[in-house]
A = this chain, B = another copy of it.
Amino acid sequence: MKRTVLSAAILLLSGMALQGAAQAASDEPIQPIKPPASINVGMVELGKKLYFDPRLSKSGIMSCNTCHNLSMGGTDNIPTSVGDHWQQGPINAPTVLNSSLNLAQFWDGRAADLKAQAGGPIANPGEMAFTHTLAVNVLQSIPGYVREFKMVFGKDKIDIDQVTLAIAEFEKTLVTPNSRFDQWLLGKKDALSKDELEGYALFKDSGCVACHNGEAVGGNSFQKMGIVEPYKGKMSDGRAAVTGKDEDRFNFKVPTLRNVEMTYPYFHDGAANTLTEAVDVMGRLQLGKKFTKDENAKVVAFLKTLTGDQPNFTMPILPPSSDATPRPTPFK
């Protein structure tokens, strides 16, 4: 009997210890990024070519990579993008890195997933200015693509769903694990400096983490821009454009802070050039908190630990057009 009680007590204590360890990890409001799983490699290789192919634009010079440049944090690093005929875009191009972790795509969440997003810019008259039909016609005229689509999808005929599915599959691989912060989360306790850890403590204690949490440190909710004070920059309807509800005005998808050191300028209008400025504005407008210079620097130091492994692949070589391929019309 005594022995049974003792065994039970030991079992219970072991269980508690294990649970305690598990809790220590899950206690943190940010989780490490996991490398992608369930990836279709053939579809990724096809999607990579399409992502870099400017023949999906009317002009023949704009590809997904033009505004979501994978050499530069998956963005174009300008306030708003340049579209066909040098049109000025209405909103800052969000990073494609880790975008598979977003609850929806675009600042206003109007696309449910990456596949739905991928078709948008191709047919947007202010962006790539093409049509889905014309884009498919171009691809169908290129023998190298016809073969590769057939290998991946098993069909002779290319359609826009295959195109956007392949681009989305490639984009799923664009996660950035192994940041110094994630190394710290995963147990490398010397991965962060004292200042960076103090910055993380401030990030949590001040309330930033209320919106910027989870695997992507954001991307998982819509929130109002200007909770405590109104935003003084350029405004757009935000989420209300999708829901039609007045209470969603000025609501935007919370951007991921992963690789934020590379995704300047900040906010929906790209008005903040530096992290120092962005942290200051966010503190005041969203939290009613004026960070001191020292606090601001520490939060920025923490944010810079969120830069993970960047995309690492061989630049794709695109299959050449054939005599039958419709030519781009950049100046019409």
A contacts, CB < 8 Å to B: 52-55, 59-61, 66, 69-73, 76-78, 81-82, 85-86, 88, 261-262, 264-265, 273-276, 310-318, 320-321, 323, 327-328, 330-331
Contact = CB atoms under 8 A, between A and B. Distances in A.
11 contacts: A54-B76, A60-B77, A61-B66, A72-B318, A78-B330, A86-B330, A264-B321, A273-B327, A274-B323, A314-B314, A314-B315
Contacts of A327: 78, 265, 273
B318 A71 contact: yes
B52 A71 contact: yes
A298 to B, nearest CB: 16
A86 B88 contact: no
Contacts of A82: 59, 61, 330-331
Nearest to A274: B323
Most buried by B among A69, A72, A73: A72
6 closest A-B pairs by beta carbon, nearest first, are A86-B86, A274-B323, A310-B317, A315-B315, A262-B320, A71-B318
A315 B320 contact: no
Nearest to A86: B86
A86 B85 CA distance: 6
A328 B77 contact: yes
Contacts of A60: 76-78
A316 B71 contact: yes
A61 B76 contact: yes
Instruction: Point out which of A59, A73, A81, A317 has the most chain B C-beta atoms below 10 A from its C-beta.
Output: A317
A55 B312 CA distance: 21
A73 B316 CA distance: 11
A215 to B, nearest CB: 22
A318 B69 CA distance: 10
A247 B264 CA distance: 53
A59 B67 CA distance: 13
Contacts of A276: 323
B331 A88 contact: yes
Contacts of A72: 54, 318, 320
A81 B66 CA distance: 16
Contacts of A86: 85-86, 330
Given A70-B315, A72-B320, A78-B330, 8 more contacts: A54-B69, A54-B72, A60-B77, A61-B76, A61-B78, A73-B320, A86-B86, A275-B323
A164 B104 CA distance: 43
